[in-house]
Amino acid sequence: MESVRPLLEVRNLHTHFFTKTGVVRAVDGVNFDVKPGETLGIVGESGSGKSITALSILGLVPSPPGKIVDGEILYKGEDLLQKSQKQMRGIRGKEIAMVFQDPMTSLNPVFSVEKQLVETIMTHEDLTKKQAKERAIELLNLVGIPDPRKRIRNYPHEFSGGMRQRVMIAMALSCNPSLLIADEPTTALDVTIQAQILELFKKMQQELDMAIIMITHDLGVVAEVCDRVMVMYAGKPAEFTETKKLFDNGKHPYTVGLMNSIPKISPNKEKLNPITGLPPNLSNLPAGCSFAPRCKHAMESCLSQDPTLIQVDENHLVRCLLYEEVKKAVTT
Ligand SMILES: Nc1ncnc2c1ncn2[C@@H]1O[C@H](COP(=O)(O)OP(=O)(O)OP(=O)(O)O)[C@@H](O)[C@H]1O
Ligand SMILES: [Mg+2]
């Protein structure tokens, strides 16, 4: 299993925004890989750089003011950062597809679902309109839209939130991508619909042998669907390991803080235990570890020395000086 070549390898990725008020280091040294068929979670609080990491992979960082200033994004061994805009258009949708948080921003309200699905399919596949429509109906059926032959004629506003998200997933799946990036795909949905959509992701992954990057701020979603998980803090990975290891033995003080801030059901109504303080200003990061100002375990050295990602156990990387002395640095 370990020798399988990753489908995607992100190396030392730096994506910055050059604004009037300074350089925003949205993604500032991110390394991770995605194996074929696995679900990788990217978790972290608002503004930690999750979406910009995804947009960097797809070549969709708004530029200006954004720019990928360093790194490599190897997809099936080829660096996407060296591809032309035209080549990237071919890769998006066909090889790597994305599902966004709010389906209304990606579905066009003035066209029927049929028109939008058929057009997407025909852009990438050599099919007639009739064949593309049949494929669209098949996809709607696959994602659990009842009576798809009739429903395909509807407009986006005629679907409920959960059903619209299913339409979006059908659209993303329309060209059999090898990698699906889902950015907070269930945040806007109520919990029962969220559970159904997560079930759908699990089913898709098993049936279509597709890798998924699941971006979320919700550790419950990670526990439900992810094989491995990267915890991000202020544009950098704080911890990267298997989901089970993260839940059984999460090591970074930020990960531990995230775990402790999950509400628990208990008879004596324990108080919530949120992480105190605010995320740092990404255009004016503190010297040393960016989590140090909020960290209960911060030492003198944390305020001046920025930790590297170190291996603390098999398949378990942590960026924290508490572990640095005992383990060997594997990357900078
Ligand atoms: N166009 C832009 N100009 C300047 N800064 C930007 C721009 N887009 C994003 N950023 C900054 O990049 C940082 C990372 O943003 P990103 O959208 O990746 O966060 P996120 O982890 O996805 O957060 P959320 O959970 O809220 O979606 C944020 O501080 C954001 O303000
Ligand atoms: Mg986001």
Domain assignment of residue 169, yes or no: no
Percent of the chain topping pLDDT 90: 64
Which pLDDT belongs to residue 304?
Answer: 94
* Residue 129 included in any domain: no
Mean confidence (pLDDT) of the chain: 90
147, part of any domain = no
The pLDDT score that the predictor gives to residue 200 is 86
End-to-end CA distance of the chain: 26
Mean pLDDT of 76-80: 96
Q: Which of 18, 19, 51, 63 to mutate to test ligand 1, by most ligand atoms within 8 A of the CB atom?
A: 51
pLDDT of residue 327: 56
Does ligand 1 have an atom closer than 6 angstroms to the CB of 54? no
CB 286 within 8 A of CB 280: yes
Work out whether the CA dihedral 292, 298, 303, 304 comes out positive or negative.
negative
Task: Please give the average per-residue pLDDT across 113-128, as a whole number.
Answer: 91
pLDDT tens digits, residue range 152-165? 999 999 999 888 98
In whole angstroms, what is the distance from residue 8 CA to residue 181 CA?
12
**Which CATH number goes with the domain that contains 284?**
3.40.50.300
20: in domain: yes
- Enclosing domain of residue 309: 8-95+177-331
Q: Which has the higher per-residue pLDDT, 272 or 26?
A: 26
Cα–Cα distance measured from residue 27 to residue 282, given in angstroms and rounded to the nearest whole number: 9
Residues near 209 by Cβ (< 8 Å), separated by ≥ 6? 36, 37
Whether residue 112 is contained in a domain is answered as no
Nearest CA to ligand 1 atom 19: 47
What's the CA gap between 233 and 277, in Å, rounded? Answer: 13
Q: Taking the model in full, what pTM does it have?
A: 0.91
What does the pLDDT look like over 81-109, one tens digit per residue?
999 999 999 899 889 999 887 766 778 88
Please give the average per-residue pLDDT across 134-152, as a whole number: 93
pLDDT value, residue 165: 86
Q: Is 188 a domain residue?
A: yes
Q: Which ligand is nearest to the CA of 50?
A: 1
Confidence at residue 69, expressed as pLDDT on a 0 to 100 scale = 97
> For the residues 45-53, what does the mean pLDDT come to?
94
User: HEC string of the chain?
Assistant: CCCCCCCEEEEEEEEEEEECCEEEEEEEEEEEEECCCCEEEEECCCCCCHHHHHHHHHCCCCCCCEEEEEEEEEECCEEHHHCCHHHHHHHECCCEEEECCCHHHHCCCCCCHHHHHHHHHHHHCCCCHHHHHHHHHHHHHHCCCCCHHHHCCCCHHHCCHHHHHHHHHHHHHCCCCCEEEEECCCCCCCHHHHHHHHHHHHHHHHHHCCEEEEEECCHHHHHHHCCEEEEEECCEEEEEEEHHHHHHHCCCHHHHHHHHCCCCCCCCCCCCCCCCCCCCCCCCCCCCCCCHHHCCCCCHHHHCCCCCCEEEECCEEECCHHHHCCCCECCC
Q: Which residues have a Cβ under 8 Å from the Cβ of 220 and sit 6 or more positions away?
A: 262
Q: Which has the higher per-residue pLDDT, 180 or 325?
A: 180
Q: 217 pLDDT exceeds 50?
A: yes
Parallel, antiparallel, or unpaired: how do β-strands 211-216 and 39-43 relate? Answer: parallel
Summarize pLDDT for 54-72 with one digit per residue, the tens. Answer: 999 999 999 899 999 999 9
Tens-digit pLDDT profile for residues 230-288: 999 999 999 999 999 999 999 999 999 998 887 766 666 666 677 888 888 998 888 89
Q: How confident is the model at residue 1, as a pLDDT?
A: 47
Give domain status of residue 76, yes or no.
yes
The pLDDT value given to residue 275? 82
CB-ligand 1 contact for 44 (6 Å cutoff): yes
Ligand nearest to the CA of 45: 1
The number of folded domains in the chain is 1
Q: Is 84 in the pocket of ligand 1 (CB under 6 A)?
A: no
Q: Is the CB of 277 under 6 A from ligand 1?
A: no
Residue 332 pLDDT > 60, yes or no?
no
Q: For residues 34-61, give the mean pLDDT.
A: 95
Residue from 50, 53, 69 whose mutation best tests the ligand 1 pocket (most atoms within 8 A of CB): 50
- 138 CA from centroid of ligand 2 (Å): 30
Q: Are 211 and 245 in contact (CB under 8 A)?
A: no
The pick from 18, 24, 102, 258 for probing ligand 1's pocket by mutation, whose C-beta has the most ligand atoms within 8 angstroms, reads: 24
| Cα 188 from Cα 261, distance rounded (Å) | 20
Q: Is residue 100 part of a domain?
A: no
